[in-house]
Amino acid sequence: MLERLTFSGRRKVFGIWGHLAFLVWAVVLAILAPGARVFVVLGLVVAFSVLFCKGGLRPLRRWGFWFLVASALALSPFFIGDKDVSLFGLGLSYQGFWVGLWMALRGVSIMLAMNAFSSAVSIAEVARLFEWAGLKGLGFAIGVAFNMLPTIRETIDTLYQAIKLRGGFRRKRLTTLRTLAIAVVVNSLRHGDEVVSAAQARAFDPKRHGAELPPPTWADLALGIALLSGVWILTS
């Protein structure tokens, strides 16, 4: 029922078990993969998002996303490690640069994996997953939150551009940022309330026992085996 309200996309190859396995795999490998192997993890996350998750790479089009990545790269040489390189009279750390690079790549991998999961899995599927784990009401709440992430990002971009075109950041920037934050929160709450109201209109009750989760498909099992092999290869 809720799929029609909040989720539409391409025909899925993997079920919720496959996408959940990939999310866990990406987070674990992004943390454990040594050194340059995190490039492999990031490449696999990008490839999976392109092939199986509609809108999975949407964060790459956001300037704020790249600002966070650039901040990690730019600040790490100043605060991590011994200052062993001088650039324009500034003491920098060669070790800090590499630590910042690996940290940024791990963060990008995790964020893209989470965005891919939220793009590919519907609210109803997440609710069933938590219901299966004995957390009925929490499943619906987490499902709404996951599926609202793309909407919140679009709201931030739209409001930022609207304020910028009206010269809102030329003066009183702190006041403008506060106005932007309030507008984002209000719009997010309104959208969440609309989702809940639509669900209630269709007699959806998160505490009521719903449909069972489908068992893992052959594609999910094959993906799980491939992911386990990837863990062994990338961490050995």
The answer on pLDDT for 214 being more than 70 is yes
The share of the chain scoring above pLDDT 90, in percent, equals: 3
Q: What are the pLDDT digits (tens) for 189-210?
A: 887 788 777 777 766 666 665 5
Task: Please give the pLDDT value at position 199.
Answer: 72
Q: What is the mean pLDDT of the chain?
A: 77
- What confidence score (pLDDT) does residue 164 get? 77
Task: Determine the Cα angle at 121 with ends 11 and 212, to 5°.
Answer: 95
Which pLDDT score is estimated for 161? Answer: 81
pLDDT at site 11 = 54
Which pLDDT band holds residue 8 (cuts at 50, 70, 90)?
very low
Residues 6+ positions from 156 with CB-CB distance below 8 Å? 64, 180, 184
Q: Is the pLDDT of residue 6 over 80?
A: no
pLDDT band at 230 (very low <50, low <70, confident <90, very high): confident
Residue entry with tokens 């930022």: 160
**Cβ contact 114:121 at 8 Å:** no
Q: At what angle do helices 218-235 and 38-52 cross, to 10 degrees?
A: 160
- Predicted model pTM: 0.64
CA pair distance 185, 191, nearest whole angstrom? 10
User: Which pLDDT tens digit goes with each residue over 29-44?
Assistant: 988 888 788 888 889 9
Residue with tokens 């499902």: 143
